[in-house]
Chain A
Amino acid sequence: MQLSVQGIVRRFGPVAALGGVDLDVAEGEFLTILGPSGSGKTTLLKTIAGFEIPDEGTVLVGGEDVTLAPPRRRDVGMVFQNYALFPHMTVAQNIAFPLEMRRRPREEITRRVEEALRLVELQAFGQRLPRQLSGGQQQRVALARAVVFGPRLLLLDEPFGALDRKLRESLQLEVRRLQRNLRLTTIFITHDQEEALIMSDRIAVMDKGRIEQVGFPGDLYARPATRFVADFLGESNLLEGTAKGGGAELPGFGRVPLPSTQPDGPVTLLLRPEALRLGEEVEALPCRARGTVIDTVFLGLSAKLRLRLEGGPVVLARIPLRPSAPPPPAEGDSVTVGFSAEDVHVVPRT
C-alpha cells in the first residue's frame, strides 16, 4: 500500500472531527474522498499531509510511519483549494521552490521546471506572475508545483471549486491523464459526486468523521452499504417496507420479491430513478403501481418526473427521451410505473 491510514482519531474539543478512520490506497491509484462539508474529509487530508497531528492512529506513506513527521519530511505534493501559489514569485520560481528546498543542482532544477511546465502546457508562461494567469492556468501551476519533485503521494483538496463548469470538466480530464501518465498515487477530495464518479478508481464516502463505504464507483452506486451512501451518491428512492418470507410489502407497489437470505422485519429498499419504467413495458413487470405526475423536468436526453403513488409515497423516475418518442407525461397525468425485482437493492440497516 502506498498510503495506509489506520484508526485515525482527531478531536477538536468535545467534537470528533475524525472518529476512527481506516483507509488503504494502492500505488498508482486515484482515490476520491467524497463527503458533504463538515464530514471530516479536509481534516483527513491535512492529517495525511502533516498539517494535523492525529490524537490516535497511524499514517503510513510507502510503508513508512509518518504520523509525527513534519510536512516537509513526507514527500507529499498537495494542491490547495485556492492554489496557495506564491504571488511574489514567477510561475517558474513557484515550480522550482520544492526542488530548491531539496537542494537539487541548478541545471536539474531548470530542466525539471521546464518539463513540469510542458506537462501542464504552460511553457510560454514561466516568467509570468501567478496573478497574470487565469484561474485554470493557476490551477495547472499549482499542479505542476505539487508533482515536480516526484512526490510519493499527490493530495488534491477540492481543486476545481472556484472554476466554471466547462473549465472544470477539461481540467478534470487533464488531471486524470497526468495522474495516469505519472502513475501517481492520488487522494482527491470533493463534495461533488459527479466529479467523484468521473475521476476515481475508487471512492471513499465520508460522513460525520467516518468512512461509510469504500468501493468502485459502479459498486457504490448500485450497492450502497448505508442509507447515507445511497442518498448522497446519485438520486434515489428509498422505500421503507416490511420483509416477510422472502418478500417485502411496499406501500403502493405491493409485494416485492427479495433474496431468500433476507431476514424478516423492516427493510429499506433503494430504487434508482432510472430503474422505474413507464408506459407499455410496465405491463410485463412484476412490481407495479399507479400514480399521478406532480411535475416533469425536461433534461435533454431524459426527463425527471416526480410521482405521487396511490397509497402514499412520492417517487422520482427518470425516463429516457428519443426525438421520435411522444412527450413525457405532464403534471396531473395518471400513469403506471413499474420495476423489475433485480433493480432493487436492499440497503443494510446499521
Chain B
Amino acid sequence: MTSRSAAPPWWRNRRYLPWLVQGVVALAVGVVVAFLLSNLLLNLTARGLLLSWSWLGQPAGFDLAESILPFDASLPYWRALLAGLVNTLRVVIAGLVGATVLGTLIGTASFSSNGLLRGLARVYVEVIRNIPLLLQLIFWYFVVFLALPNGTDAIQLPGLVLAKSGLFLGDPQLVNGVWQAPLRFSVEFGALLTGLVVYTAAFNAEVVRGGIASVPKGQWEAASSLGFAPLVTLRRIVLPQALRVIVPGLNSQYISLAKNSSLAVACGFTDLYSVSETTLNQTGRAVEVMLILLGSYLVIDLVISALMNGLNGLVQLKER
C-alpha cells in the first residue's frame, strides 16, 4: 500500500469511513444471519423437516367452525388457510369501519357543548386505552357474549335474533333447538369485533380529537357568524380540514387493528392465526407455517398503508 505523507491514514479518511462503518455493520449482520440460517438448515435436516410445501395440498382433516368459503375436512390445507385468511379480512374490514365510526363519534363528542358528554368521552378514552386488549377480548367473550340467553329465551326482534350462538338476521327459525337464518354472525366473531372496535375507537378518538383541535378556532367562529349550525360546521368546514391531520394518524391505528385481530385465538374465532396453529400442529411444519403467517400479515399491512397513502393524497391541500 502506498500512503501519501499528507493524507490521513485510510481508516480516518472521510471517503472510506462511511463505508468502513457500513462494512462492519454488514459483516456483523451477515455473520449472525449466516450462523442462524446454517443452524436452521442443520437442525431441520436432522429432524427430517427440510422446507417443503407439498403438505399444502394434502387434506386438512379438521373442520372449521365458520367459513364463508365452502370448507370441509377433505379439502387441502391451503384451502383451510385461505378460509382463515378470509375470516381475518372479514373481521379487519368490519373492524376498520366500526372503529372509524365510533372513534369519530367519541372524538367529536369531546368538543360537545354538553359537559357530561365531554367528560364521558374523556373517561372512555382513558379507561379503554389503559386496559390490555387481550383482557378486554376475553372479557367480552366469556363474561358478556356467553351470558346471552339461548334457545327460546333468546332476544327476539322482528327479523333478528340475538342468542348465545350468534346474531341471526332475516327470518330466523328455531329448528331442533338451534337457530337458523340466512345471515348469521357467531358470537366469537361478535366478541372479537366488539373488542377490536371498542379498543381501536379509543385511539382513533384521540387522533380525531387532535385533528379537530388542529383546526384554528377562527374557522368555528367564522362559520357560526355566517349562521351555520354547529353540526353542519363540523361536517362541512372543520372535518375536511381536520382530515389532513387525521388520515396519517389513522394509518398506524388501522395497521394495529389488523395485527391485533390475531388475538382471535383468545375468543375461539377461526382466523388465520388460529387455523395456522392447528395446521402447524397437525403437520409439524413450524417454519413454513410461520412464513405464510408473517407474509400474509405483511401483505395486509402494506395494502392498508397503500390505501391510506392514497387517501392521504386526496385529502391533502392541493396547492397550485
A and B co-occur in one complex:
no
Residues of B within 8 A of A (CB): none
